[in-house]
Amino acid sequence: MVGHVVAVARSERHEFTKPRVESIRLVAGLGVDGDAHSGRTVQHRSRVREDPTQPNLRQVHLIHAELFDELAGKGYSIAAGELGENVTTRGIALLDLPTGALLKFGRGPVVEVKGLRNPCRQIEAYRAGLVAAVLDRDADGGLVRKTGVMGIVIAGGEIRGGDDIEVVLPPGEHRKLEVV
C-alpha cells in the first residue's frame, strides 16, 4: 500500500489547529521537532494531568485527506492542519491499519502506528456538529472514530508535501487499532 503526503503542520503551542509548513522534521523517540506534543512522555494536557510519566504514544498525528472530502459533503470545509494533525495523507486507509504498522516516508522517516485519535470536545468547539460528523457506527454497531491515527517516531528525518508513504504491515496476527 502506497500513498502520499498532502501537507504537514506543527505548532509550538498547545492549540487545536496547527499551521501548515513546508516541511517538518521528525526526531526518533520524540516526535515532530518544534511541536508542542513532542516528547518521550505524554504532552497532551489531559494525559499529563492523569499521569505525566506515561510514554508518549501520540508523537505524530496523521489524518487522511479523504476525511476532509467526506466532511465537505456534510457541509464542513476543513483544511489540512485544522484538526491538529501533523501529517495529512492521501491514498492510505489509515483507520484500517493494524497496531504496529510502519509508515515509511520518502525521505527516510518512519512512524509506527500506535492507535486511534479519540475525537475531543475541542473539535465541537471548533465547529458545531463536527464531533458527530467524525463519528460513525460499523455494521456491528461499534463506534468508528475517523479523526486519524497516532504514532511514534522510529526513524527521524524530513517530511514534505508530495512525499510518498509506504505501509509495512507487522508480521503475525494483526491487532485492530484502539484509542491511545
How many C-beta neighbours within 10 Å does residue 8 have?
Answer: 25
Residue 42 counted as domain residue: yes
Residue 179 counted as domain residue: no
**pLDDT at site 180:** 94
Q: Is 149's pLDDT higher than 90? A: yes
pLDDT band at 46 (very low <50, low <70, confident <90, very high): confident
SS (H, E, C) 150-165: EEEEEECEEEECCCEE
CATH number of the domain where residue 102 is located: 2.40.33.20
What is the rounded distance in angstroms from the CA atom of residue 134 to the CA atom of residue 128?
12
pTM of the model: 0.96
Residue 174 counted as domain residue: no
Summarize the chain as % helix, strand, coil (round to 5).
Answer: 15, 35, 50
Residue-number span of the structural domain to which 92 is assigned: 2-168
Number of structural domains found in the chain: 1
Secondary structure element (H or E) that encloses residue 60, with its range:
strand 60-64
Residue 176 counted as domain residue: no
User: Which tens digit of pLDDT belongs to each residue from 58-68?
Assistant: 999 999 999 99
The answer to whether 113 touches 99, Cβ cutoff 8 Å, is: yes
Q: Chain-centre distance of CA 147, in angstroms?
A: 8
Residue 177 counted as domain residue: no
**pLDDT at site 47:** 83
User: Which tens digit of pLDDT belongs to each residue from 74-129?
Assistant: 999 999 999 999 999 999 999 999 999 999 999 899 999 999 999 988 999 999 99
The answer to whether 28 touches 155, Cβ cutoff 8 Å, is: yes
